[in-house]
Structure 1
Amino acid sequence: MDEGGKRMEEGINVALDIDEAKDEVMKKQETTNINGNSSIDQHDTDTVAKPALVKQKTKRIATLDAFRGLTIVLMILVDDAGEAYPRIDHSPWNGCTLADFVMPFFLFIVGVAIALALKRIPKIKFAVKKIILRTLKLLFWGIILQGGYSHAPDELVYGVDMKFIRWCGILQRIALVYCVVALIETFTTKLRPTTLSPGRIAIFTAYKWQWFGGFMAFLIYMITTFTLYVPDWSFVDHVNSDIPKRYTVLCGVRGHLGPACNAVGYVDRQVWGVNHLYSQPVWRRLKACTFSSSGEGQFRDDAPSWCLAPYEPEGLLSSISAILSGTIGIHYGHVLIHFKGHSERLKQWLSMGFVLLIIAVVLHFTHAIPINKQLYSLSYVCFTAGAAGIVFSALYILIDVCRIRTPFLFLEWIGMNAMLVFVMAAQGIFAAFVNGWYYEDPNKSLVHWIKKHVFVNVWKSEKVGTLLYVIFAEITFWGVVAGVLHKLKIYWKL
């Protein structure tokens, strides 16, 4: 697939493109199956030396594309159907729902993609330049799409008050993890082994610096979370009432893992400022805040003041913890590179996936460290990374071992144009464009008409109609669009 393109595997198309090295004379080439599709299970074979100016074709990894596409589909589903089905939306605090797998799955993809894209680095300075440039692109798009400038898809306005701009977000977190993990991979390129030494932990010791980077991120997060003193703090509520009102939250604690007084929120308030945090945190759906839990509803009269406060789910300290998700992902990519047989790869992947799940379950149910997406706790990292490894292994078995590829083609198409679908569908830019062409009233647009008359009214249910609208008018539609763009060899990458 994509035989003519030179596009390496990437988490939301962020992996480094290293195909510009023209003077590499000996290449390892992946063989193709009888249908001409790329396969990642074949043994590498030595090829005949090519002239220096002849560019080699690179093969995409079908399983990685499908996994990336699955994550995008999952994001669209939980973002647009989560209001109708709160149980699939983000967990208000402790626990893990379907929506809580999206971010760590993206970071897992980033890690796998970096390992594959940076197998060979002819020029370290050139690689570092590309990494920094793509990091800046991700930061730029993240601020544009989630900083408050874009009000898509419902409000036909744009612009943001810089006093309240949100500096953090999904792409910003991906940018940080990508930058750190990719730079470690780049600067340790001369320390990599060509072959692994015997032993069960050889794959870990061979890439000890990558694991050291992940361990340092873990150490910084854990020490800060459990030792940083969190004082009382105040905020002004600009969202829930016509007249801004100031509230004070009483803390004065260390190592607190609740919503109001944790170190993760304190670091973000100190670094970014309370006005630059996400103004609609999911903790508003907690029972302490509303009788409508786990959905959103009117605040209780006796709700604590922090229910009205902003909180950044993609903040600085939690993003440092997220580096460990990328580190685990890059380990899966290293296994893919060094182990050539299906059974060897699956043994490494599945064993690590189940070990991570066990660690997470033990930490959560012993109440040592609860699974918590908002804090990006260690148990959350282990649980979601373990799940990512198992899902990735399952797709590998279906697509590359059993050759059942056709049912997953639409996921591959979305995965190959993940950035486009993310911006247009998940961030609602295309829907906002269509909503801009309305008749008499902004609510009388094609998007609103389709959702109301084709889905909700037909099924006589707001919940079922919303779910079917998301499945067919968004996910299926963009799967078809991505397939057409793939046939035309049109891709959007950073």
Structure 2
Amino acid sequence: MNKRSIVASRYVPKRALWNKYILSYSLDGNVSDKNQTSFLAVKKALFDAFHDWEMNSCFDFIDVTPSQKSDIKILFTNDKINHKDCNRKFRGTAAHAFYRYHKKFPAHIHINNEIFWMESKKPSGSISLKTVLLHEIGHVLGLYHSDDQKSVMLVLEKQLMLFGYLSILVILFKCENVGEFKVDDSEWKCTDMDTAKLEFKVSDKFKSEIEIFYQYDICNKCDLIGLKRINPSINEESSVIIDSYYGYVFNVSSISNKISICQNLKYKNFGECGVYSLEINDINDCSIKRLQNPKRPNVWLLLGVLIIACFVLICNLIEKKEKKLREFLIRIVRSSRVKNLEDINVNELEEVIVPEQVKVKNRLHSLDTFRGISLFLMIFVNYGSGGYKFLQHVPWHGITLADFVFPWFLWIMGFSIPLSTNSLLKKYPTKRLKIFKKILIRTLKMFFIGIMLNSRFGVMLENLRIFGVLQRIAICYFVVATLELFLYKDIKIDDSKKGWKLFLSDVIWSKFHFIFVILIAITWILLSYLITVPGCPKGYMGPGGLDQGGVYYNCTGGIAGYFDKIIFGKSHLYQRPTVQKIYKTTEPFDPEGFFGIFNSVVLTYLGVHAGRITIFYKNQKTQIILWCLWGVLCFILYSALTQFDMTNGWIPVNKNLWTLTYSLITGCSSYLIFAFLFVIIDVKPYWSGNPFIYLGMNSILFYVCHSVFATTFPCQWIVSNKHLPKLLMNIWGAFFWTLMSIYFYKKKWFFNL
């Protein structure tokens, strides 16, 4: 199909323009117009326009650099410049939009740089850039022009004439629908999770136009963003659809006389599918009232927990029934008298009476179970965790359930290292270089598999992300396993020692290991707080973007982000960090970047020491006590460094930066959880670890599989955008790989690097 401008033609209804929900955009070339609009002002207009669409559509948008491949390209240009891909003269119009005519070519938005553009207010002779962007973005997403004066897709010339500066939201619930969408919808039906309707009621005391601004309450000292303009002289209802998960801060001001009507109006109690009213009665008299009670989607989590508990119970009942059946068959065979022994098929007899067990090394069942539980939760979270945001990764500072899972893996891996090293060096005491070669090869295998997973959706080499989960695990394994190998010495347990010397014998033996790890932690602290990043304050660990009023816009991650960009380049980092939605950041940031390796090694070594305890102390009670003591010690250090405040303490808790306090609190939880599992599985076998133990025995294999087949049937399929169907689907995804792990165990199929 030939390229055609949207100005000259209309889309065919229900044309499938996009086959994905996450679209990237880039501002290409120089920003130049007759008003000399600043680059930051243009970027802010872009952020606001794309954010409005993101808030009210199923699309998410990523801001990428011009050098990177993008789905939508925005250019400031004029009639004197010819463009090979999309070329059409403006002839006095403000902008053109070109839809994506082929999957290899991006959509284009061309902005006329011969016009006086303004970001917000509209003096004589200027046009609001955000107004035009809202309209043109609608076109590249697949919308018609509209004749409705309330629609953002109103023909642009009429829109500018009627409304001047327009900052309105469009309501778009179903991506497959292509048509006209109104700003206000009095017959709103809640069809998506985490959405609520906010209506606006303005007293007739106000005669001039007023503007409402908003910001998420978790956005630290962020500037507020324009949400809605209301003209009280026009007697009509006005509303927007908002994300009900977050709390908000609202400001209301008069446009004509620039008077602040209400400031810092905070509200945290929005609920899913609830209807609320922001009532503006007088100066300093604003309130938010609930008009319609919201739904309570969190109750479905109880159902999810019950389903998982039933699944575990059924697996254990089947296991017990199998054992009883096998014992019964053995008794029958032993009691029967076989006259003709030659008629017996020995192989068939063994298959009947011998329990189907896999001969594996003597290993801690509690450790395999802990690893399996971690992987089960990781699959559930990666598949969407039922759409519950509080179960997903935190945007920046703080911690959620999802933020514990990856550190547990590192701690468990560390636990296994001294056990395997001790075993290998007892067998081959003079072959350390050969063992080191094995460590190196395993590291390279794991790192390479991680890079393969990063490219599973197709990628250009210049944009290939280098780091990831497996890459971080590989590097931590290499550092800690090498440390253990070359600092290892024969372990001689002196039973004559008493008191504190007995309980610190493992620490004394590994004093050089601890010195090395402590130096790593100190190095991270010194680099983080003493090095100044260009354009950022010393010791800055914030998210950048709108944080602190946007003063440090490009400082996402401080030294950690800067270090990764200098070494690897922006295009090889993670392009959609968790902080992007809240803080409107534009800089890529990799949560598994190089700088986070420091404290990841610290956490891994905490696991190493937990494993070493099992070598030094054979008494199970002593082992449990020491694990609990180390867990308490980690918590004390964490409390001291955070000052009991995860966000504003000396060292905040941050998974993206992988701060020292993050390693300490996750290390604390690892010690205590493992101690509990050790008691109920290995000491007093109340539980066999079934079914999670099987997942833990093949963890690398099923981590890779759950990633590769994440969007394929029967692992996952598309369901309605509600918490209950998504929760059931994501739980099923975790169940599926657990059942596969049981099947692999029965078949004696194990994958090791």
Task: With the length of structure 2 as denominator, give the TM-score of the two structures.
Answer: 0.48
Question: Shift of residue 448 of structure 1?
Answer: 6.1
The answer to whether residue 619 in structure 2 is matched with residue 316 in structure 1 is no
Contact 2:695 2:702 (8 Å CA) reproduced: yes
The structure-2 alpha-carbon separation of the partners of 1:178 and 1:430, relative to structure 1 and needing over 3 Å to count, comes to: same
Q: Equivalences for 1:115-130 in 2 at 5 Å?
A: 115-120=418-423, 121=425, 122=428, 123-130=431-438
Residue 540 of structure 2 corresponds to which residue in structure 1? 256
1:209 is displaced (CA, Å) by 2.3
**Residues 364 and 682 of structure 2 are in contact (CA less than 8 Å); yes or no, is this contact kept in structure 1?**
no
Q: What is the Cα deviation at residue 349 of structure 1? A: 0.2
Letter in 2 for 1:76: I
Residue matched to 2:674: 392
Asked whether the 8 Å contact 1:83–1:89 carries over to 2, the reply is no
Report 1:336-375 matches (<5 A): 336-364=614-642, 365=644, 367-375=649-657
Change (3 A) 1:103 1:448: closer
Q: Which amino acid aligns with 2:664?
A: C
Structure 2: stretches of 5+ with no match in the other structure:
1-322, 324-358, 545-554
Which one has the bigger strand percentage?
A: 2
State the shift of 1:380 in Å.
Answer: 0.7
Q: Are the counterparts in 1 of residues 700 and 751 from structure 2 also a CA contact under 8 Å?
A: yes
The reply to whether residue 489 of structure 1 matches residue 753 of structure 2 is no
Is it true that 1:179 corresponds to 2:179 in the alignment?
no
Measure the CA separation in 1 of the matches of 2:716 and 2:623: 47
TM-superposed CA distance for 1:392, in Å, is: 0.7
User: What letter corresponds to residue 259 of structure 1 in structure 2?
Assistant: P
Q: Residues of 1 paired with 2:751 and 2:587: CA distance?
A: 37
| Pairing partner for 1:213 from 503, 508, 516 | 516
Distance 1:422 1:282 in 2: 21
Q: 2: distance between equivalents of 1:342 and 1:91?
A: 37
1:377 to 628, 650, 659: 659
Q: Give the deviation of 1:317 after TM superposition.
A: 1.3
Please say if residues 325 and 385 of structure 1, whose CA atoms lie closer than 8 Å, have aligned partners that are also in contact.
Answer: yes
Aligned CA distance change for structure 1 residues 195 and 100 (closer, same or farther; 3 Å): farther
Deviations 1:14-47 (A, max 9, x none): xxxxxxxxxxxxxxxxxxxxx9xxxxxxxxxxxx
CA 1:82–1:282 in 2, change beyond 3 Å: closer, same or farther?
farther
User: What SS does the corresponding residue of 2:691 show, helix, strand or coil?
Assistant: helix
* 1-structure distance, mates of 2:740, 2:575: 34
- TM-score, scaled relative to structure 1: 0.72
Match of 1:145 in 2: 453
State how far apart, in whole Å, the 1-side matches of 2:592 and 2:360 are.
37
Deviation string, structure 1 residues 340-387 (Cα, Å, up to 9, x no partner): 122101110001102212321332225111111111111111100000
Alpha-carbon distance, 1:162 to partner: 1.4
Structure 1 segments of 4 or more deviating over 6 A? none
Q: How does 1:297-336 map to 2 (within 5 A)?
A: 303=584, 307-336=585-614
> Per the alignment, in what secondary structure is the counterpart of residue 409 of structure 1?
coil
Between the aligned residues of both structures, percent identity stands at 31
In the TM superposition, what whole-angstrom CA distance separates every residue of 1:254-275 from its partner, at most 9, and x where no partner exists?
Answer: 1111113311111111111111
In the alignment, the residues of structure 2 paired with residue 228 and residue 276 of structure 1 have an alpha-carbon distance, to the nearest angstrom, of 23
1:430 is the counterpart of 2:729: no
Query: Are residues 137 and 98 of structure 1, via their aligned partners in 2, closer, same or farther at CA, if it must alter by over 3 Å?
Result: same
The answer (yes or no) to whether the contact 2:385–2:727 under 8 Å persists in 1 is no
Check 1:57–1:108 CA distance in 2 against 1; reply closer, same or farther (3 A cut): closer
Structure 2 match to 1:73:
376
In 2 relative to 1, CA 145–195 (structure 1 residues): closer, same or farther, beyond 3 Å? farther
The correspondence for 2:726, drawn from 459, 466, 483, is: 466
Pick aligned residue for 1:403 from 685, 695, 699: 685
| In structure 2, C-alpha distance between the alignment counterparts of 1:346 and 1:372, rounded to whole Å | 29
For the structure 1 residues 223 and 400, does the alpha-carbon distance in structure 2 shift closer, same or farther, using more than 3 Å as the test?
same
Query: What residue is the counterpart of 2:35 in the other structure?
Result: none
* 3-state SS in 1 of match to 2:472: helix
Q: Which deviations, in whole Å up to 9, do the C-alpha atoms of 1:239-290 show, x marking residues without a partner?
A: xxxxxxxxxxxx2x2111111331111111111111111001011243xx3x
Mark the structure with the bigger radius of gyration: 2
* 1:170-198 Cα shifts (integer Å, max 9, x gaps): 01110111001001111122354455754
Check 1:57–1:68 CA distance in 2 against 1; reply closer, same or farther (3 A cut): closer
Contact 1:360 1:379 in 2 (8 A): yes
1:236 aligns with none
Counterparts in 2 of 1:465 and 1:195: CA distance versus 1, 3 Å: farther
Q: 1:319 to 1:358 in 2, by over 3 A?
A: same
Alignment of 1:215-234 (within 5 A): 215-232=518-535
Q: What CA RMSD, in Å, does the superposition of the two structures yield over aligned residues?
A: 2.0
Q: Secondary structure at the match of 2:728?
A: helix
Separation in 2 of the partners of 1:339 and 1:376? 32
2:580 is aligned to: 284
User: Structure 2 CA distance, aligned partners of 1:257 and 1:411?
Assistant: 37
Offset of residue 83 of structure 1: 6.8
Displacement of 1:220: 1.8
User: Where does the alignment leave 5 or more consecutive residues of structure 1 unmatched?
Assistant: 1-34, 36-55, 152-158, 233-250, 290-302, 436-445
2:725 maps to amino acid? G
Kindly indicate which of the two structures has a greater share of residues assigned to helix.
Answer: 1
1:163 offset after TM fit, Å?
1.4
Question: Is contact 1:195-1:338 (8 Å) kept?
Answer: no
For this pair of structures, how many residues does the alignment match? 371
CA distance in 1, matches of 2:715, 2:605: 41
**Do the aligned partners of 1:417 and 1:482 also contact (CA within 8 Å) in 2?**
yes
Alignment-derived partner of residue 567 in structure 2: 271
CA contact (8 A) 1:69 1:413 kept: yes
By how many angstroms is 1:141 displaced? 0.5
